[in-house]
Amino acid sequence: MSIVQEAAEAIRGKNLRIVYPEGTDARILRAAVRHAKDGILHPIVLGPKDEVEALAEKEGLSLEGLDFIDYEHYEDYDAMLQALLERRKGKIDETKAHKMLKDRNYFGTMLVYMGKADGMVSGADGPTGDTIRPGLQIIKTKPDAKLVSGCFIMISPDEKERLLFADSAVNISPSEEELADIAYQTAETAKVFHIEPNVAMLSFSTYGSASSPEQEKVAKATEIAKKNYPNLNVDGEMQLDAAWDETVAKKKAPGSNVAGKARVFIFPDLQAGNIGYKIAQRLGNYTALGPLLQGMAKPVNDLSRGCSEQDAYEIGIITAYQALN
């Protein structure tokens, strides 16, 4: 059974509500209609009524059973406005709040914040920041999270290997402390998806085999992670081959509890993380699920602008599963 199938079985019958703000995107609407038909989760689609109905007719889709909200004519708008003003008290005025609620991502985020949805999936038609920003301002981070980061669940072609790559989506050049927090958050994500939380802090060096500010940064981040999270099974800095291959690990990192057994890979910066997951995806034929946003108090996930209907459908299931956990 695939990881998506496992998540689907876990959430079936729980009536978890996932909001898709981009209801005027054909990929998103098709994914939501599939959810409405199969009943695994309860999709909520946002968009101007006329535009969504016209798109459904063009695509040959039935909107029966689909929870649809025209965010420009929402019956509980006044309550949402007051909730937003209270949440952002002292930071925005009523004029600004009205403007924010005309943005589909802010509107969708408010549905999650107010408990009218259990999670949100967006980003098919906009940059990552447009999805993350409302979440940071309204839902905010978990008490134990210092930042929001992005990970990918990487699944081997035979589906025997499940790995996590982070940060592959959000933080361009994380500090030592931020890398340590990303390591912890990704290990917690691993537990949710029953992936062994053996965390490798990646570099071009293993245990000081090379010396540079970049290598020292990862080594220091590893020390911070071990100190701040004593129950975290983390080691580094280490090269990818030492983290992955047991034979190489015995030579480069003898005695390590992680080397050769890593399933969670923390990249030193966004360039490495983004390139790394795409190499595994395109050259290694790994399936990449994500990016999943880590550290939010409630699940909000970002789609790639190049996503497919299937991607949107699967991330909806994963988001609902996160809400359950």
DSSP labels, 169-231: SS-SS--HHHHHHHHHHHHHHHHHTT----EEEE-SSSTTSS-SHHHHHHHHHHHHHHHH-TT
| Dihedral class, residue 240 (left if φ above 0, else alpha if ψ from -120 to 50, else beta) | alpha
Query: Do 214 and 261 form a contact (C-beta atoms < 8 A)?
Result: no
**Spatial CA neighbour of 151 closest among 134, 133, 169:** 169
- How do the pLDDT tens digits run along the chain, 325 residues long? 789 999 999 999 999 999 999 999 999 999 999 999 999 999 999 999 889 999 999 999 988 888 889 988 899 999 999 999 999 999 999 999 999 999 999 999 999 999 999 999 999 988 888 998 999 999 999 988 889 999 999 999 998 999 999 999 899 999 999 999 999 999 999 999 999 999 999 999 999 999 999 999 999 999 999 999 999 999 999 999 999 999 999 999 999 999 999 999 999 999 999 999 999 999 999 999 988 999 999 999 999 888 899 999 999 999 999 999 8
Sheet holding 234-238, edge to edge: 234-238, 199-202, 264-266, 162-166, 149-155, 287-294
Dihedral angle of Cα 18, 21, 25, 29, to the nearest 10 degrees: 30
CA distance 290 to 288: 6
CA distance 221 to 267: 11
- Backbone torsions φ then ψ of 185, nearest 5 degrees: -60, -40
CA distance 250 to 100: 55
Structure tokens, 179: 């890398």
Prediction pTM value = 0.89
Instruction: Pinpoint the residues of the chain covered by CATH 3.40.50.10750.
Output: 149-282
Q: Which fold has domain 3-140+297-324?
A: Rossmann fold (3.40.50)
State which H helix or E strand residue 151 sits in. Answer: strand 149-155
Residue 206's Cβ-side half-sphere holds a number of Cα atoms within 13 Å equal to 19
Instruction: Pinpoint the residues of the chain covered by CATH 3.40.50.10950.
Output: 3-140+297-324
Per-position DSSP letters for 259-277, written without gaps between them: TTT--EEE-SSHHHHHHHH
CA distance 215 to 237: 7
The CATH architecture that domain 149-282 belongs to is: 3-Layer(aba) Sandwich (3.40)
Given CA atoms 116, 119, 125, 126 in this order, what sign does their dihedral have?
positive
- Within 10 angstroms of residue 25's Cβ, the number of other Cβ atoms is 22
Q: Check residue 301 and give its pLDDT.
A: 94
Q: Check residue 286 and give its pLDDT.
A: 96
Q: Check residue 281 and give its pLDDT.
A: 95
- The model's pLDDT over 154-187, given as tens digits with 9 standing for 90+, comes to 999 998 999 999 999 899 999 999 999 999 999 9
Report which DSSP code applies to 255: T
Residue 231 is which amino acid?
Answer: N
- Residue 188 CA: distances (Å) to CA of 18, 196, 215, 325: 22, 10, 25, 11
Within 8 A by CB and 6+ apart from 175, the residues are: none
